[in-house]
Structure 1
Amino acid sequence: MNTLATNPVVTILETLHREAAISDRELMETMMARLNAPETSADQVMADLFAKEKADYRSVYHDYAGNFLAVSPRYGQFLYMMARPCKARRIVEFGTSMGISTIYLAAALRDNSGGQLISSEMEHTKVTRARASLDAAGLADLVDIREGDALETLRSIEEPVDFLLLDGAFSLYLPVLKLIEPWLAPGAVIFGENAFDPDYLAYLDNPINGYLSQMLPLDEGRGNGFAVRVG
């Protein structure tokens, strides 16, 4: 069975992706304008944003409360495709946003004969929208969206995690990974969308920490990282 190919999931994802493209267009145009400025590189733009997050990630995150900042349809399908063969039964997601990636992952759980997706989101309006979309898609029974700071909401996991998606504030990828790490099952997969934090990448690349990792050639320029818990 492929829940992604059924209605109302198809219709809801099409609507969300269409709205995301419109919502984020101005933001992307602003970033492109910075990239086209003299003596400015993509690395510098990301470094500036990362520095702001390090200083106050809550403030920066609230700045994008109206933006979807969602995974692309291709990446969403890839997440579904990865969750299926690893037979994920328990998934943790950092950064629900409007619930696009959450729907892809919940669909995989449905087709894996059930399970639970624990997702964390700070913005109340995004939580409300995500819950409504999941309910309309018939997937709400598989998802526990925890509203608030992920460093607090994801403290209570207490069961093995097969799949971890990091797609929130870049500067929190490593702290969230370390928070979930005691619960990662052997062979658990970890995806970091926009994984630009050098400390996070260095942690995964250090064999002593028990991971194998590499960057994925998906959605070029978005720094999509993939890791497997082998230690």
Structure 2
Amino acid sequence: MLEVLRMLDPRTAAVLERLYAESDSRPEPVPPKDLAEYPRPVELTEQVRAFDDEFLTLEKEQAAYCYTQARATGARTIVEFGTSFGISTIWLAAAVRDNGGGTVISAERVPRKAERARAHVAEAGLEQYVEIRVGDACETLRDLDGPVDMFLNDGFPDVALEVHRLVTPALRPGALVITDNVGLMPDLYADYLAWIRDPAHGFVSVRIPFHGGTEISVLTEAVPA
């Protein structure tokens, strides 16, 4: 763990180490096998509230990969779908800061989670680089000002494609899209994967073996209509 965090400044690393320890102390949520069983993010039902206290976050090495990719691409504007308690947000904001400044725009449906995430980001000394938008991402991420350099698609899978298509017009050519959980929940991400892998939509895309399978996509010069 310390080896992974060594690339970050001590204040940021200390917050992440504590949050990962808290996350690791809890049982990992079991993803549903059927889309109909998955809670829809636009409705605050009892089923949805079951996820409100869960650390739905990237694994340590996976988050470090996102950080290094953001550094490699010089990302200054990053969009994130799914803030949760802010662990991945902190990694992305650290990359933006280390690239010379910019903004991470992160969408979180649950107000209480967003509040905790803001506190964690501030504790890490990164609040000036983060804007957390609370509500349905299909609304809060509309009409983004571009260019966006990187998009972390890590929210509810039933709207992964819809949110992706909202963000795409703001992406610059060469922008990186990282989508988690596609290997763990292939049925839920089937429509997304079919779309992102269709060359007509302007992306080149490949799966890498993080967290059961994470999709890495790059927008080519041919920007989708």
The verdict on a shared fold, with TM-score over 0.5 as the criterion, is: yes
Percent identity of paired positions between Structure 1 and Structure 2: 39
Given that residues 61 and 169 in structure 1 are in contact (C-alpha distance below 8 angstroms), is that contact kept between their aligned partners in structure 2?
A: no
Q: Hey, which of these two has a bigger chunk of helix by percent?
A: 1
User: Which 10-residue stretch deviates more, 5-14 or 171-180?
Assistant: 5-14
| Residue 104 of structure 1, aligned match among 88, 91, 100 | 91
User: When the two structures are aligned, how many residues end up with a matched partner?
Assistant: 209
Shift of 1:214: 0.9
Query: Which letter maps to 2:210?
Result: L
| Residue 225 of structure 1, aligned match among 215, 219, 224 | 215
Shift of 1:3: 8.7
Shift of 1:4: 4.6
Shift of 1:7: 2.1
Q: In 2, Cα distance between the equivalents of 1:3 and 1:132? A: 22
- Equivalent residue number for residue 56 of structure 1: 40
- Equivalent residue number for residue 192 of structure 2: 200
Query: Which letter maps to 2:215?
Result: G
* 1:209 corresponds to 2:201: yes
User: Which 10-residue stretch deviates more, 4-13 or 158-167?
Assistant: 4-13
Q: In 2, Cα distance between the equivalents of 1:114 and 1:80? A: 14
SS in 1 for 2:163: helix
Given that residues 4 and 107 in structure 1 are in contact (C-alpha distance below 8 angstroms), is that contact kept between their aligned partners in structure 2?
A: no
User: Which 10-residue stretch deviates more, 85-94 or 3-12?
Assistant: 3-12
- Equivalent residue number for residue 24 of structure 2: 21
The two structures have a TM-score, normalised by structure 1, of 0.85
Q: In 1, Cα distance between the equivalents of 2:166 and 2:180? A: 18
Mark the CA change 1:178 to 1:117 in structure 2 (over 3 Å): closer, same or farther.
same
Query: Which letter maps to 2:36?
Result: A
Query: After TM superposition, what 4+ stretches of structure 1 lie above 3 angstroms from structure 2?
Result: 55-61
Q: In 1, Cα distance between the equivalents of 2:139 and 2:107? A: 9
- Equivalent residue number for residue 39 of structure 1: none
User: Which 10-residue stretch deviates more, 72-81 or 56-65?
Assistant: 56-65
| Residue 187 of structure 1, aligned match among 160, 171, 174 | 174
Q: Where do residues 145-160 of structure 1 align in structure 2 (5 Å cutoff)?
A: 145-160=132-147
Residues 2-25 of structure 1: per-residue CA shift (max 9 Å, x gap): 9953221111000110111123x1
Unaligned runs of 5+ in 1: 32-44
Unaligned runs of 5+ in 2: none
Q: In 1, Cα distance between the equivalents of 2:161 and 2:154? A: 12
Shift of 1:156: 3.3
Q: In 1, Cα distance between the equivalents of 2:154 and 2:192? A: 13
User: Pairwise CA RMSD of aligned residues?
Assistant: 1.7
- Equivalent residue number for residue 12 of structure 2: 9
Query: Which letter maps to 2:119?
Result: A
Mark the CA change 1:130 to 1:11 in structure 2 (over 3 Å): closer, same or farther.
same
The two structures have a TM-score, normalised by structure 2, of 0.87
